[in-house]
Amino acid sequence: MQQHPLVVTDRLRLRRDPSRASGLARWFLVPLLILGGIQLAAAATGLAMLQDFFQKTHTITAQFRQEVANHDGRIVKRTSGKLWISRPGKFRWDYDGRNGQTIVSNGEKVWLYEPALEQATVQPLGKAIGSTPAALIAGNDDLGRRFRITDLGEKDGLRWLLLHPKTGQDQGFTALRLGFDAQGALREMRMEDAFQQQTVLRFEHIRINHPISAQEFQFTPPAGVDVLSQ
């Protein structure tokens, strides 16, 4: 996609390149969380923001900028695009550029389309849930069951929460930081993987709870595209 973002163990598999694999997983996007009786090591303010975001935010439209840094902190990938989310389970991430990818979930299946490769990969949504931030953002799940969550307080004008998967790299990332602004909007996601790569997503021009056409969450592979099923 310039940057692919999301490949993990049992999730969409595109290539064995570490940056592609870690990229896709951290992305999905991502995205599926709603707090349900969570036991958090977090202050009330951070918990309240997280609850409000995942319980009161039903649709999101935004533009994003994405950077991937290697273990030395050097930026190796930059890309941008637009996203649509309709909870629960529906999302679309479009990456800009000639090699941009499209990731679409209709609530039942997730498609990853790579025009440059003339290839599309499809898998059930259930396999993607929890494996990528895109799926996390879009869904309904019990955070406390799969994550250890810590309120990191305020920094650079955002309220930060740290999520550590209880099963290590099974989620496609080893650590995930969420940054919320004073209005409770998710402004940044910072993800680290087992290769010590970090992906940073910054969201702009955010629209919350505005109607989104159902067509945004539909995908039909173009003629001549190879379709791989998981």
List pLDDT tens digits, range 29-88: 334 333 333 333 334 477 788 888 888 889 999 999 999 999 899 999 999 999 999 988
Whether 24 has a pLDDT exceeding 50, the answer reads: no
Q: Is the dihedral of CA 137, 143, 147, 149 positive or negative?
A: positive
Domain membership of residue 204 (yes or no) is yes
Residues 105-140 have pLDDT tens digits of 999 999 999 999 999 999 888 766 555 667 778 876
Domain membership of residue 4 (yes or no) is no
Domain membership of residue 13 (yes or no) is no
What is the reported pTM? 0.76
Domain membership of residue 79 (yes or no) is yes
For residue 144, which amino acid is it?
G
Domain membership of residue 138 (yes or no) is yes
Task: Quote the domain boundaries for residue 33.
Answer: 18-219
Domain membership of residue 3 (yes or no) is no
Instruction: Give the containing element (helix H, strand E) for 186.
Output: strand 186-192
SS3 94: strand
Whether 13 has a pLDDT exceeding 80, the answer reads: no
Q: What is the mean pLDDT of the chain?
A: 78
pLDDT at 19: 43
Q: How confident is the model at residue 170 (pLDDT cuts 50, 70, 90)?
A: low
Q: Which residue has the higher pLDDT, 38 or 205?
A: 205
Give me 203's structure tokens. Answer: 């969201």
Domain membership of residue 161 (yes or no) is yes
Domain membership of residue 225 (yes or no) is no
CATH number for the domain harbouring residue 212 = 2.50.20.10
Q: How many domains does the chain have?
A: 1
Closest CA to 188 of 154, 164, 165: 154
- What are the percentages of helix, strand and coil residues in the chain, rounded to 5? 20, 40, 40
